[in-house]
Each structure stands twice: as structure tokens, then as C-alpha cells.
């Protein structure tokens, strides 16, 4: 077992504090990773605060992990010591069900999430990336190209794949008008991807001070979503809208903007349900409301390779781990440009 240091929450109301635990000995297909950087996802905050009702403590959050391989099990073929690698939201799945066979491990009925999930190896819970090292089966480890900045790559492991996967599934490309709702960690990646795919991109925000950034990131135009006249100007015009908002809100304002057969895809997971959407908005134009969960391992690798080719990474604010509790407060105020990334070197400072 490897003695390990991280930051954990011990209850849903207490701040994250230093926490010692152990990682398992390497199994033949395991990769041992020295964690360099870990992104701070809004899902970390939902889970630490038990907003999804599934929290188990102590909880070491973090599922946007990048680091370097420090050791490999005897049967590992895909990685060698020194490789830059990533780990996202999944560290296990059954590997045999139809979803796993289709490279859609995120939809497996027996997923093992990177943290706050029963750990079949330890019998306890999984512990995530706000820590100095992690041991992960090679199937759930991603390769990172040498040209990508490692710290700015960390958020791709969740915010990146969660926005890339629906854009791929709904085949967004040139000629499409695409909306992105919310300019946070997920939203700013969605704007970059939709722009790189050649779509016309409209960003919906509640924060007027983000307009210039949205355009710099690739939005063709920006709508202040609280302004009904600005919203109405886009009625019946969108092929696809990706909604990343982490709070309940009126979805009718967005379904009304879709063309016939258009889709509003929800990826934000608020703690309370959205108000019920109007059926009329859906049936009169055969519009769809859908959802999407992260992405499978194959597609996550494709997304990282797409990013390497198009030189896409996240816009980040780097923090030492000691500032994690303040960072959570800023995320809750929609005040992050546009993802906090923890420099895990700071753990050594105590
Ligand atoms: P984030 O950085 O906090 O961004 C969310 C953005 O939503 C904010 O920046 C803000 O953008 C907007 N917003 C916040 N409160 C709002 C409100 N009351 N009304 C309207 N807009 C509001 O969060 P994130 O890390 O991108 O995560 C977003 C959500 O996706 C979370 O619920 C998270 O749990 C979920 N998530 C889902 C998946 C999945 O697989 N489906 C994966 C990862 C995360 P503006 O300032 O531009 O309005
Ligand atoms: Zn996440
Ligand atoms: Zn499965």
C-alpha cells in the first residue's frame, strides 16, 4: 500500500482539510500516477455538499487528473514510466455489458467513479485527485500529447469530454447554429469545441462581464439570458443548445429558441429539479430535451487528440490546495475564469 496525502471533506458542511490514506498495491494492469494537477469541477462541490444525496465521507474529490506515470503493473502495455497521462470521472466499469462493449462505459450499470463511489478493490470508497498519487487500471488512463500544457489539460478530463461528447453525438458542425448556456468550466469548453467544429456559436450568460471573454473563446454572439427581448430575437433558430447551468431554471426560454426537431441537451445537474418544461413548446415543433453524461474512454481519448490537433485547452486559474475552500465559494458565485486547477506540488508545503 502507498501512503498518500490529499484534501478531504469529513461532513457535508465542513471545509476540506488535509487527509492521510493509502492507495492499493499495483495489480498487473494498474498504472501508478504522480498527480501534478487536478481541475475543480462544480460536481465536486455538489457532492461535497451532498446536493445529490449520495455523499460518503471522508470524501477526497477530484476527477480532472493529470500526472506522470511513476510505476506500472506487470501486464501494463499501453504506458511506461514518465508518460504524461490523465484520469477522468471513471476508474472502473463491468467491461462486459452492452454499454461497455460499445465504448460507452459511462452508461454501464456498475460504474466505479473516481471518488465518492464504492471501491471494489479496497472495500471502502474511491478517493479522487485532490491528492498526491492515484492507482488506476490502464483501461481508464488516457494518453496526453506532448504539445498540450498539462495544467490546462486537466479540465478536459471532465469539462472537456462532457461537452465534446454531446456535440459529437448530435453531429454538430459547419452550417449549424449552436447555443451554449452558462460560461463556466463546461460552458467555456463547449464554446471552444463548437467553434472549432465550424458551427455558429451563441453563448447565453447571466453575467454581462463575460461578453468579451465569450467572443475571445469563440462565440459569434452573446445573449444576456435575463433579457427577454434579446432571447426572443433568436426564436426558432437553433439546431442544438447545450445547457451547462448548475441551478434550476426555466427551460421553456430555451426550447422556444429551437428549430423544428432541434435538441436542448442538459448536462448541468442542479440539486433541485428544473420547473416542468411546457409540452406545447415540444410538440408543436417536435423538439427534444435530452441529457448526456461525460463520455466513454475511447471518446475521451479522441477528444484529447482533437485538442492536441487544434491546440485547445482550458482557460485556468491555478491555485494551491490550501485555497480550495475559497475557490469553491467563487465557483458558487459564477466567478471563475474559467476553471480552477489545483497545483498538487502545494500539498508538499503542508
Ligand atoms: P460552473 O463552472 O459553476 O459553471 C456553471 C455556469 O452556469 C456558471 O458559470 C454560470 O454561467 C451559469 N449559472 C450558474 N448559476 C446560474 C443560475 N442560477 N441561472 C443561470 N445560469 C447560472 O460549473 P461547471 O463545472 O461547468 O458544471 C456545470 C454543471 O454541470 C454542474 O451542475 C455539474 O455538476 C454538471 N456536470 C455534469 C456532467 C455530466 O456528465 N453531465 C459533467 C460535469 C459537470 P454565466 O455566468 O455565464 O451565467
Ligand atoms: Zn466533473
Ligand atoms: Zn458495463
Pick the residue whose CA is nearest to atom 10 on ligand 1.
Answer: 182
The model's pTM is 0.98
Pick the residue whose CA is nearest to atom 15 on ligand 1.
Answer: 247
- Tens of pLDDT, residue by residue over 115-139, are 999 999 999 999 999 999 999 999 9
Phi, psi dihedrals of residue 113, rounded to the nearest 5°: -80, 160
- Tens of pLDDT, residue by residue over 8-27, are 999 999 999 999 999 999 99
Atom of ligand 1 nearest to the CA of 40: 25
On the question of pLDDT at 348 being above 90, the answer is no
Give the pLDDT confidence score for residue 349 in this predicted structure. 79
On the question of pLDDT at 283 being above 90, the answer is yes
Residues 84-114 as b/e (b if ≥16 CB within 10 A, e otherwise) read: bbbbbbbbbbeeeeebbeeebbbebeebbbb
Locate 219 and state its grid cell: 462565440
* Average pLDDT of the residues in 79-89: 98
* Average pLDDT of the residues in 78-93: 98
- Tens of pLDDT, residue by residue over 55-83, are 999 999 999 999 999 999 999 999 999 99
Taking residue 291's Cβ as centre, other Cβ atoms within 10 Å add up to: 12
- Tens of pLDDT, residue by residue over 146-200, are 999 999 999 999 999 999 999 999 999 999 999 999 999 999 999 999 999 999 9
Element of type H or E holding 328? helix 324-332
Ligand 1 contacts CB of residue 247 (under 6 A): yes
On the question of pLDDT at 332 being above 70, the answer is yes
Ligand 1 centroid to residue 187 C-alpha, Å: 7
3 confidence band (pLDDT: 50, 70, 90): very high
Give the pLDDT confidence score for residue 133 in this predicted structure. 98
Proportion of the chain above pLDDT 90, given as a percent: 99
Ligand 1 contacts CB of residue 253 (under 6 A): no
Residues with CB under 5 A from ligand 2 (ion): 41, 43, 158
- Tens of pLDDT, residue by residue over 223-251, are 999 999 999 999 999 999 999 999 999 99
Give the pLDDT confidence score for residue 350 in this predicted structure. 63
Instruction: Provide the mean pLDDT of the chain.
Output: 98
Ligand 2 centroid to residue 185 C-alpha, Å: 9
| 345 three-class SS | helix
Proportion of the chain above pLDDT 70, given as a percent: 100
Q: How far apart are the first and last CA of the chain?
A: 22
Amino acid at each position: 500500500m502507498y501512503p498518500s496525502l490529499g484534501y478531504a471533506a469529513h461532513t457535508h458542511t465542513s471545509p476540506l482539510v488535509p487527509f492521510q490514506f493509502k492507495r492499493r498495491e499495483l495489480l498487473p494492469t494498474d498504472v501508478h500516477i504522480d498527480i501534478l494537477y487536478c481541475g475543480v469541477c462544480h460536481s465536486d462541490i455538489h457532492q461535497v455538499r451532498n446536493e445529490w444525496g449520495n455523499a460518503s465521507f471522508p470524501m477526497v474529490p477530484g476527477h480532472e487528473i493529470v500526472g506522470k506515470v511513476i510505476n506500472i503493473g506487470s501486464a501494463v502495455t499501453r504506458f511506461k514510466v514518465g508518460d504524461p497521462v490523465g484520469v477522468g470521472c471513471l476508474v472502473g466499469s463491468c467491461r462486459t455489458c452492452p454499454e461497455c462493449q460499445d465504448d460507452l462505459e459511462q452508461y454501464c450499470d456498475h460504474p466505479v467513479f473516481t471518488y465518492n463511489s464504492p471501491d471494489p478493490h479496497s472495500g471502502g470508497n474511491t478517493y479522487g485527485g485532490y491528492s498526491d498519487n492515484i492507482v488506476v487500471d490502464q483501461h481508464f488512463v488516457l494518453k496526453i500529447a506532448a504539445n498540450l500544457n498539462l495544467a490546462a489539460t486537466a479540465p478536459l478530463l471532465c469539462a472537456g469530454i462532457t461537452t465534446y461528447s454531446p456535440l459529437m453525438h448530435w453531429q454538430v458542425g459547419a452550417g449549424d447554429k449552436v447555443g451554449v448556456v452558462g460560461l463556466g468550466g463546461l460552458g467555456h469548453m463547449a464554446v471552444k469545441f463548437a467553434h472549432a467544429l465550424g458551427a455558429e456559436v451563441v453563448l447565453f450568460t447571466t453575467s454581462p462581464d463575460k461578453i468579451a471573454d465569450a467572443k475571445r473563446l469563440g462565440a459569434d454572439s452573446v445573449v444576456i439570458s435575463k433579457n427577454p427581448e434579446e432571447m426572443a430575437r433568436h426564436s426558432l433558430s437553433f439546431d442544438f443548445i447545450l445547457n451547462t447551468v448548475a441551478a434550476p431554471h426555466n427551460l421553456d426560454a430555451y426550447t422556444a429558441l429551437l428549430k423544428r426537431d432541434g435538441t436542448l441537451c442538459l448536462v448541468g445537474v442542479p440539486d433541485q429539479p428544473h420547473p416542468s418544461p411546457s409540452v406545447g413548446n415540444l410538440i408543436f415543433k417536435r423538439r427534444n430535451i435530452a441529457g448526456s453524461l461525460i463520455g466513454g474512454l475511447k471518446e475521451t481519448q479522441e477528444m484529447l487528440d482533437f485538442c492536441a490537433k487544434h491546440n485547445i485547452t482550458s482557460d485556468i486559474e491555478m491555485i494551491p490546495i490550501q485555497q480550495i475552500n475559497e475557490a469553491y465559494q467563487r465557483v458558487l458565485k459564477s466567478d471563475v475564469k474559467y476553471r480552477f486547477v489545483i497545483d498538487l506540488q502545494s500539498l508538499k508545503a503542508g
